[in-house]
Amino acid sequence: MNDLQAYVILNAVLTIPKNRVAKLLEAFGGAKALLAARPHEWVASGGLTHQMAGRLDVTRRTFRVDEELRRAERSGIRIMTRDDVDYPENLKEIYDPPCVLYIKGALEAVDKNAVAVVGSRGASYYGLSVARDFAARLASFGLAIVSGMARGIDTAAHRAALDAASRTIAVLGSGFNNVYPVENRGLCEQIAQSGAVLSEFPLDTAPLAQNFPVRNRIVSGLSKGVLVVEASLRSGALITARLAAEQGREVFAVPGKLSSETSDGTNDLIKQGAHMVTSAEEILRELRCVLCLDIGEAGVPAARKEAPVRKEAPVYKETAARKGTPAGKGIAARKGAHQIPAGLLTEEEERLFGVLNDEPKHIDVICRESALDPARAAALLLQMELKAAVRQVPGRMFITASNTSRGGTCQRNLW
């Protein structure tokens, strides 16, 4: 048995906590020596209970390690151990680094300049847009984007990095033979072509619920900082944030609506001391001491390509929803306000525009709130789309066009 085989066998015992595995490896001086020992020696070392030692002994005798290695090679998957010279530097710093990494694609030295972008699987349109904007902007400065390839925020961040032709790293909560969610299998292959997909789990490991919190320590461990875009109070993204803090990483959070459940977690993080950010540049300034980048006078590195140019702001007037409301009277006067260029819409279109906001609304809801019949509402929405005042998003939903992008960046393919 060589060292690689020993590590793969040891890694196959999923029920032994990773910190105990680390203690065993230290006590025995490596995986090969550890597996050459007897179960009572594992217990005597203080690393395992009798029950854990029994499970490891069974795995040592039954796990078909040669077949695992052959299948990985056929699938173009490299198996790396923590003893390899090119094991990720950032991961070496955490207290319980994975002893084995299955890798499809390639890790590069530049990946040490990485930021994790995580958040809710059931993200709002706002959250998806913000995730794409932040990920694209961070990627334009040469940072790798790390995430967990889950639905929602993770997927949006990965796709934004791919669209920017930048590095992105996905960390699976399952084995490569059970990529989850299934609709992201194509995304997995795309990421592997220009970045890397990682898993510490054996090839056939199912996407079990207990795997994802374990996976999250790798997401944060690979990164210099973690950005939580949108998360409820029970979101797994908050586990990633907690692990990041324990690992000495910076934690950033995007503030969200007080009325949105998917913003409760991010708003709570800010209360607890996470950095509140509204731009990628704020993240770069905070991380400037730990990033290996050429930082300019403004406190951020030069972008690889010019940022979108903002057009001059048009002259605005009040919509029908705001007429009669005193201007400049505090939050109440501004809450829910949506502005449009003067003279763009007819009076009837303005009334319809007044019921829309920065979250998609189904056409049935729009009809009910505007008191318009479906045929008339559909005709008006089409005219407003042609005037670039509203946008249609999947599911016969509509959103105000002025709120679908930041700084002129077109938002596409959010799912």
pLDDT digits 0-9 by tens, 338-347? 456 677 888 8
Residue range 200-236, pLDDT digits in tens = 999 999 999 999 999 999 999 999 999 999 999 988 9
Residue 337 has a pLDDT of 41
Average of per-residue pLDDT across 22-34? 88
> Could you give the count of Cα atoms lying within 13 Å of 357 in the half-sphere of its Cβ?
12
Instruction: Name which of 24, 30, 41 is nearest 5 in CA terms.
Output: 30
Strand duo 144-147 + 114-118: pairing: parallel
Q: Which residues contact 124 (CB under 8 A, 6 or more apart)?
A: 230, 260, 262, 359
Q: Which of 48-52, 102-106, 194-198, 406-410 has the lowest mean pLDDT?
A: 406-410
Q: What is the pLDDT of residues 57-72, one digit of tens each?
A: 999 999 999 999 999 9
117-121, 287-291, 391-395: the lowest-pLDDT one: 391-395
For the stretch 137-192, pLDDT in tens is 999 999 999 999 999 999 999 999 999 999 999 999 999 999 999 999 999 999 99
Q: How many residues does the chain have?
A: 415
What distance separates the 2 farthest-apart alpha carbons in the chain? 83
Residue 240 predicted with pLDDT over 80? yes
pTM for the whole structure: 0.75
Summarize pLDDT for 349-360 with one digit per residue, the tens: 888 888 888 778
Q: Mean pLDDT across the stretch 93-108? A: 93
- Taking only the tens place, the pLDDT of each residue in 358-370 is 778 888 889 988 8
What's the pLDDT tens digit per position in 298-331?
556 666 654 443 333 333 333 333 333 333 333 2
390 membership: H or E segment, kind and range:
strand 390-393
Tokens of 207: 């996407």
Q: What is the pLDDT of residue 303?
A: 65
Q: What is the pLDDT of residue 402?
A: 54
Q: What is the sign, positive or negative, of the torsion defined by CA atoms of 169, 171, 172, 176?
A: positive
Of 65, 66, 35, 32, nearest to 53 (Cα)? 35
Short-list 190, 208, 139, CA closest to 167: 139
Tokens representing residue 206 in the block: 């199912």
Per-chain mean pLDDT for the chain: 84
Contact 150, 215 (CB under 8 A): no
What pLDDT, on a 0 to 100 scale, did the predictor assign at position 384?
86
- Taken in order of first residue, the domains within the chain and their CATH numbers are 3-63 (1.10.150), 90-98+101-287 (3.40.50.450), 316-403 (1.10.10.10)
How far is residue 175's CA from residue 67's CA, in Å, rounded to a whole number? 15
pLDDT digits (tens, 9 = 90+) for 404-415: 333 333 333 333
